Amino acid sequence: MGGLTYTMQDTVSLSTSEVYGNVLCELGEKHPEIVGLTADLAKSTKIGFFQEKFPNRFFNVGIAEQNMFSIAAGLAKSGLVPFVSTFAIFTSMRALDQVHTDICYQNLNVKMIATHAGLSFGQAGTTHQCTEDLSIMRAMANCKVIVPADGMETANAILAAYETDGPIYIRINRGFDQKLYDSPDYSFELGKAVELRDGTDLTIIACGSCVYQAVEAAKILDSVDGIKARVLDMHTLKPIDRDAILKAVHETRRLITVEDHNVIGGLGSAVSEVIAESGKGCAFIKLGIPDEFSIIGLHEDLMAHYKIDTNGILENVRELMGRDFEEDDDWEDEV
Amino acid sequence: MNELELKKLEKKAHELRALCVDTVVWAGSGHIGGALSAMDMFTLLYYKYMKIDPSNPDWEDRDRFVLSKGHVGVGFAPVLADKGYFDKELLKTYNHTGSSLGMHLDSTKVPGLDASTGSLGHGLSIAIGIALAAKINDKSYTTYCLLGDGECNEGSVWEAAMSAAHYNVTNLITFVDRNKCMMDGPTEEVMKLEPFADKWKAFGFIVKEVNGHSMKELSEAIEFALGEKSAPVVIIANTVKGCGIDFMENNYKWHYGGLNSEKIQQSKESLNNYYNKRVKGV
């Protein structure tokens, strides 16, 4: 990754989507084939920064998401690289037929930057919360799915999306994310998890806003419980980093996934698919929103409510560490 | 259009109708009604107006065509084959397992196809994207889009119409194949479209309503649209579902169907009669 000039200092004052808007402007300066689209959410999604700089390469189609994604397909067919921004729920559901047929099926070079994902727009209620998109978008052939953990990772993801041909879904949050990375210069690679802490007692695999919580939990586990938790930032859900998951199964035997998404179909499902296909056993907990429409509230309150915050992770790790599964199983073949 | 050119186009449309019937037979069945109602538009675009190079399907300066009513691939694939985008022999595999030609054509598999369509109500938006890209890329190509009339039940068509007018996308020419039939019945019974022209006008389009089986009227409308820069143009082509085959004409039940040997024979004879009637006096 090169060319990004962001530092921690910049991102302190920028929300995650503001980082996105700025990075897109930087890219737009260098690459005239980048075009922007939104559906009356230029300000909310911060793609409006791009609109201000490049008004002739920007289309606000009004509140018409279906039209927007099909227009993006047409633009991509003509060699342009559309970045399309609306809320995650409208990308993955309102316009899904267009996303499926016009973009993913035709393997077009459209970048879908879906904002206000998960519970991050919690106060807006269930119509605007989006806890199903990862499940839906993971099922779209040709489409890569990225869930950045913070603003800096969003910057890297946007750059990687531009540099990678084909449809890409990037899911970011409304507002500010807890800052995890100080600068963009860490080993971000699409499809490769970032190991934030090493450990051999268990592995916490998280994505999005839950990564910060996982790191905080791991610190406490280390200092209070003496538990060494490995933490993986699984920013790319598709293609998922199978090697990192299998290594974690082999070396730590206990896995917990944490995501701001329904437990069906998202990160937890993706990880469990890899485990199941490997034929290796391990203790496993999926943390996320249970199979229900989430309640209304502030993002941090909702994360606590659904136990995908630091305390929730701690509680589950302690429970998992207490499980006496090893006595019943022969792990000799594993080591 | 001079008489010689008109005669050639009429002959070509006739050949393509026959090839469409053959393709339906090879496929086992197909959306023949809407394929035949659109055939004169296909013919006029591909044999008179569109700047294309079948030996170079991805030529970036080519004119584009988006078949929004994607279900009539069985009528459009014969046109592409006849233009030389692929071997006509391939039509014999239509809908067969593993063939590159299926009911709703796939642009990643079919040379000369500018968009994969099939889910209705998408094509006009895609065409708008292609047309807007021409402006950004400083290209002078024209984009054509053909909608079905039943398809205009989809709200996304009107989202597209609104944006075409808003962005004054005049390098796009939209056709509606107004054959007045859809899968479940006549359009006005299933879901009323009239006053149809007024709807397009209200969305900011200039409307040309023509007989969709008159090469002359269609041609005049296209010439008008090519020169019009004040607003996007839609050509509402009043057509006959199953045009050219007497037992299919204006019968919504022939939206989709198959042909037994007796019906094949009857279809060919009917097409010949229809052609002779059309070219009489041409």
Give the per-residue pLDDT at A335. Answer: 47
> What are the distances in angstroms from CA A318 to CA A202, A228, A311, A314?
11, 12, 11, 6
Residue owning tokens 């209705």:
B120
Give the per-residue pLDDT at A13. Answer: 82
Give the per-residue pLDDT at A323. Answer: 78
Dump pLDDT digits (tens) for A202-259.
999 999 999 999 999 999 999 999 999 999 999 999 999 999 999 999 999 999 999 9
> Tokens at residue A219, please?
């610190």
Nearest Cβ partner of A74 from B60, B121, B125?
A: B125
Q: Is B136 exposed, middle or buried (0-12, 13-18, 19+ CB in 10 A)?
A: middle
CB atoms within 10 A of CB B217: 18
Nearest Cβ partner of A78 from B121, B137, B162?
A: B137
CB of A74 less than 8 A from some CB of B: yes
Q: Do A77 and B136 touch (CB under 8 A)?
A: no
A contact residues 306-325, partner B, Cβ 8 Å cutoff: none
- Strand segments, DSSP code E, in chain A are 34-38, 58-60, 81-87, 111-115, 144-146, 168-171, 194-197, 202-206, 229-233, 236-238, 254-262, 283-289
For residue A167, the distance in angstroms to the closest alpha carbon of chain B comes to 15
Give the per-residue pLDDT at A183. Answer: 87
Q: Which amino acid is at B145?
A: C
> What are the distances in angstroms from CA B32 to CA B28, B91, B255?
11, 15, 6
Q: What's phi and psi for B93, nearest 5 deg?
A: -100, 5
Nearest Cβ partner of A74 from B126, B137, B156?
A: B126
Q: How confident is the model at residue B282 (pLDDT cuts 50, 70, 90)?
A: low
Q: What's phi and psi for A34, nearest 5 deg?
A: -75, 130
Q: What's phi and psi for A299, nearest 5 deg?
A: -55, -50
Distance separating alpha carbons of residues A207 and A214, to the nearest angstrom: 9
Torsion of CA B199, B203, B209, B212, to 10 degrees: -90
Give the per-residue pLDDT at B86. Answer: 98
Using CA coordinates, name the residue in chain B closest to A105: B116
Q: Which amino acid is at A28?
A: G
For B181, residues 6+ apart whose C-beta sits below 8 A from its C-beta are B33, B34, B150, B187, B241, B250, B251, B252, B255
For A251, residues 6+ apart whose C-beta sits below 8 A from its C-beta are A200, A203, A230
Q: Which residues face A59 on adjacent strands?
A: A37
Q: Do A71 and B136 touch (CB under 8 A)?
A: no
* DSSP category for residue A75: H
What 3-state class would DSSP assign to A205? strand
Q: Give the dihedral sign, CA B31/B36/B38/B42.
A: positive
Chain A residue numbers with beta carbons less than 8 Å from the beta carbon of B129 are: 70-78
> What are the distances in angstroms from CA A109 to CA A146, A158, A162, B1, B60?
15, 13, 9, 41, 17
What 3-state class would DSSP assign to A95? coil
Q: Do B132 and A71 touch (CB under 8 A)?
A: yes
Helices (H), A100-209: 133-138, 151-163
> Tokens at residue A291, please?
């199979």
What 3-state class would DSSP assign to B159? helix
For residue A100, the distance in angstroms to the closest alpha carbon of chain B comes to 10
CB of A99 less than 8 A from some CB of B: no
For A80, residues 6+ apart whose C-beta sits below 8 A from its C-beta are A33, A34, A35, B133, B136, B137
Distance separating alpha carbons of residues A187 and A192, to the nearest angstrom: 9
Dump pLDDT digits (tens) for B13-30.
999 999 999 999 999 999
Give the per-residue pLDDT at A334. Answer: 53
For residue A265, the distance in angstroms to the closest alpha carbon of chain B comes to 25
Dump pLDDT digits (tens) for A16-62.
999 999 999 999 999 999 999 999 999 999 999 999 999 999 999 99
Q: Do B129 and A98 touch (CB under 8 A)?
A: no
CB of A7 less than 8 A from some CB of B: no
For B192, residues 6+ apart whose C-beta sits below 8 A from its C-beta are none
Q: Is the pTM of this model over 0.90?
A: yes
CB of B159 less than 8 A from some CB of A: yes
> What are the distances in angstroms from CA A190 to CA A183, A233, A329?
17, 12, 36
Nearest Cβ partner of A79 from B108, B137, B162?
A: B137
pLDDT exceeds 70 at position A3: no
* DSSP category for residue B233: E
Give the per-residue pLDDT at A1. Answer: 45
Residue owning tokens 């009911």:
B103
Spatial CA neighbour of A239 closest among A286, A192, A272, A279: A192
Dump pLDDT digits (tens) for A280-335.
999 999 999 999 999 999 999 999 999 999 999 999 999 999 876 655 555 565 54
Q: Which amino acid is at A106?
A: Q
Chain B residue numbers with beta carbons less than 8 Å from the beta carbon of A70 are: 122-123, 125-126, 128-129, 156, 160
CB atoms within 10 A of CB A55: 9
Give the per-residue pLDDT at B4. Answer: 94
Q: Which residues face B64 on adjacent strands?
A: B143
Distance separating alpha carbons of residues B105 and B211, to the nearest angstrom: 27
Over residues A135-155, the mean pLDDT reads 97
Q: How confident is the model at residue B54 (pLDDT cuts 50, 70, 90)?
A: very high
CB atoms within 10 A of CB B273: 13
For B81, residues 6+ apart whose C-beta sits below 8 A from its C-beta are B19, B87, B88, B90, B91
Give the per-residue pLDDT at A333. Answer: 55
Half-sphere exposure of A267 (CA within 13 A, CB side): 36
Q: How much of chain A, in percent, has pLDDT values that exceed 70?
A: 93
Give B43 or A330, the one with higher predicted confidence: B43
> Tokens at residue B259, please?
């042909």
Q: Do A70 and B122 touch (CB under 8 A)?
A: yes
Q: Which amino acid is at B219?
A: S
For residue A125, the distance in angstroms to the closest alpha carbon of chain B comes to 26
Q: Do B107 and A62 touch (CB under 8 A)?
A: no
For residue A55, the distance in angstroms to the closest alpha carbon of chain B comes to 11
Q: Which residues face A289 on adjacent strands?
A: A262
Over residues B82-107, the mean pLDDT reads 97
Q: Which residues face A255 on adjacent strands?
A: A203, A284
